[in-house]
Structure 1
Amino acid sequence: MTEGYAATPAPQEPADRLAAAVLGVPGVAALHPGMFGEVGTYLPGRRVAGIRITDNVVDVHIVVVFGGAVRDTAAAVRATVSALHPGAAVNVTVEDIAPAPP
């Protein structure tokens, strides 16, 4: 029996870390999978929509909250992703605008 020992959690994937960080940026309502659902990172048994990571580029597609400064929000997303994935070019695409939460 292994009482007293905690299970070692599985390491979080880079796409998961980036998605959580982007969703934490003020003004970001959601991640967006792209016009045809083409933007995403495939992981075993699931997909992280709105984040695509290649060797030297990270593509992030977002939905911005209505009334927010779109360019400032995109710049904040770019800075956040650059800090977590240094050395990669970061492309931010605003796909849609969502109503502000009540």
Structure 2
Amino acid sequence: MTVTVVAGPPDAVVDGVDVDLVAAAVRGCPAVADLVGGSPSGAATYLPGRRIDGITVTDGAVLIQVRSRWEPATALAAQIRRAAGAVAPLHRLDVIVADIEDPPSTWMSR
């Protein structure tokens, strides 16, 4: 998996983490459908004039909340940790799967 990310504006850096870079890296994971704000964790980062749902940076940790594609949880977590860890290497990464997409139609026909 190769993900190309471009740094966001300087106001996107929270506790040494560029939240735009983390968001782009996580969204580039094949097992991730998208970042998700709201329940269960309410994960979001509020920046001047905008909000990034699904990511919260606090006290040495990055909380990432996603909607998963129909993939094993171990693959999902490994992809997210590899991608986000490349842009936030000094922070613990916590992953919450808030939702899962419906299985592909090919899976339903088994």
Per the alignment, residue 53 of structure 1 pairs with 57
Alpha-carbon contact 1:64-1:96 (below 8 Å) kept? yes
For residue 34 of structure 1, report the CA deviation from its aligned partner. Answer: 3.3
Offset at residue 72 of structure 1 (A): 1.0
- 8 Å contact kept, 1:74–1:94: no
- Equivalent residues of 1:41, 1:49 under 8 A apart: yes
Of 83, 86, 92, which aligns to 1:83?
Answer: 86
C-alpha displacement of 1:100: 5.9
Q: CA deviation at 1:55?
A: 3.3
Q: Percent identity?
A: 37
Aligned to 2:34: 30
Asked which structure has the greater CA Rg, the reply is: 1
Measure the CA separation in 1 of the matches of 2:67 and 2:30.
12
Alpha-carbon RMSD? 2.1
Gap regions ≥5 residues in structure 1: 1-9
Q: Conserved in 2, the CA contact under 8 Å of 1:32 and 1:63?
A: yes
In the alignment, structure 1 residue 40 sits paired with structure 2 residue 38:
no
